[in-house]
Amino acid sequence: MHFLVAGGGPAGVTACETLRRLDPAAEITLLCGEPGEPYGRMAIPYYLIGNIDAEGTRLRKRHGYWEGLGIPLRHDRIASLVPDRDQVILEGGERLDFDRLLIATGAHPVSPPIPGIDLPGVVHCWTLEDAHAIAERADEGSKVVLMGAGFIGCIILESLVKRGVRLSVIEQGPRMVPRMLDEVAGGMLQAHCESQGVRVLTGTRAESIAESGGRLAVATSQGEIPADLVIVATGVRSNTGFLDGSGVDCDQGVLVDEHLESSRAGVFAAGDVAQGPDLLGGNRQVHAIQPTAVEHGRIAALNMAGQGARYPGSLNMNILDTLGLVSVSFGNWEGGGEHQTLSLDSRDAGRYLKLVFDDQDRLRGAIAVGHTEKVGILRGLIQSRRPLRGWRERLQRDPTRIAEAYVGAIEASA
């Protein structure tokens, strides 16, 4: 049996380890697609702050780890998947046969199509190579423009501030992290960043970037912003291009079923590239976060090895710690429709809690700012899908009693 794993991120690495545990004799090949040992993108902010060096970003740090597992690490990328054969063609032209294939190729950052986007000094923050380029230019006092205040933009924001740069953030949406936080929470995050010296321009589009004498200038709908470095964090797209014509159905990612198998038998997908079941039901989703990648990788590997494991679905979940302000959102936090929303807004004290319930009193989504201690409870309640019967009115008066409600729900169902 030859297991071919494409992608050396958390999904691919977890899959390889699971496969080796299940089948000590199997042939397993890992195609990393990037130089060096598999690393975690999540560690990039710590590298930028200087808490770790490049070696510290490696997902598995022990020397000789991959040789020890008997898994050859190759740095190649797949160029295409042959339609009627269990075979891939690598970018160098080599063909590799497989019995089971895992597509764990993640995503790539996308750039807005504006003049100057390819200039030197305009970079993404996605790969370790990008991080090296940022570290070279983002010195104390340098002017940095961060295009995009989405999840990734906000994750790296703190490391840029800690490097001592003069930071301007441009976000075309009406608030920071508009796909993670509502108006109140996004506004709190913006006010917090501004209080720490970050200039935040929401509702602002970057229109072009120009270079003169080694200095950059970003023209925006609100005027021009000078920069030594421009970081583009305007979204990502799943790496599925090499699957065109292969018989693997894709939408926003590779469409996978509850076994994380694609429309083509024997071809599985995991992590940021996979569009799979959502824990709360509804359409299949890409939940581009590391915990989902790891769990996808594990379950896909179990199924590749014939264990018949069912994936219950991933929970949409984002956690940000921005210059000391912790904001989280889970599940269907937007509410609306048949959902009932309770919220407690004490933004002057830096705290906000929004709870969204379905018609059976089950928590379907939540936003919490400054309520660090409630993060685990909110997540547990949504995942358990326990009804909070009898608690609705009490929570209406004070949503912060959610921990008591959780205990009450457990006791009621015991």
Residue ranges that bind ligand FAD, judged by CB under 6 A? 6-12, 31-34, 41-42, 44-45, 77-78, 104-107, 125-126, 152, 155-156, 239, 242, 271-272, 288-291, 293
DSSP codes of every residue in 133-189: HHHHH--TT-EEEEE--SHHHHHHHHHHHHTT-EEEEEESSSSSSTTT--HHHHHHH
- Whichever of 242 and 391 has its CB closer to ligand FAD, that residue is 242
CA distance 292 to 272: 8
In angstroms, what is the minimal distance from the CB of 224 to ligand FAD? 27
Burial of 174 by CB count in 10 Å (0-12 exposed, 13-18 middle, 19+ buried)?
exposed
> Edge-to-edge strand order for the sheet containing 27-31?
73-74, 27-31, 2-6, 100-103, 267-269
In angstroms, what is the minimal distance from the CB of 137 to ligand FAD? 16
* Distance (Å) of CA 388 to CA 309, 325, 361, 373, 408: 30, 29, 5, 19, 8
In angstroms, what is the minimal distance from the CB of 81 to ligand FAD? 10
In angstroms, what is the minimal distance from the CB of 394 to ligand FAD? 33
Q: Can you read off the two tokens belonging to residue 203?
A: 């509702």
CA distance 74 to 21: 20
- Whichever of 326 and 403 has its CB closer to ligand FAD, that residue is 326
- Whichever of 78 and 304 has its CB closer to ligand FAD, that residue is 78
- Whichever of 12 and 331 has its CB closer to ligand FAD, that residue is 12
Burial of 384 by CB count in 10 Å (0-12 exposed, 13-18 middle, 19+ buried)?
middle
Task: For residue 239, report the phi and psi dihedrals to the nearest 5 degrees.
Answer: -85, 85
CA distance 374 to 382: 12
Q: Can you read off the two tokens belonging to residue 193?
A: 């960043």
- Whichever of 12 and 148 has its CB closer to ligand FAD, that residue is 12
DSSP 3-state assignment of 243? helix
In angstroms, what is the minimal distance from the CB of 37 to ligand FAD? 10
In angstroms, what is the minimal distance from the CB of 146 to ligand FAD? 12
In angstroms, what is the minimal distance from the CB of 108 to ligand FAD? 7
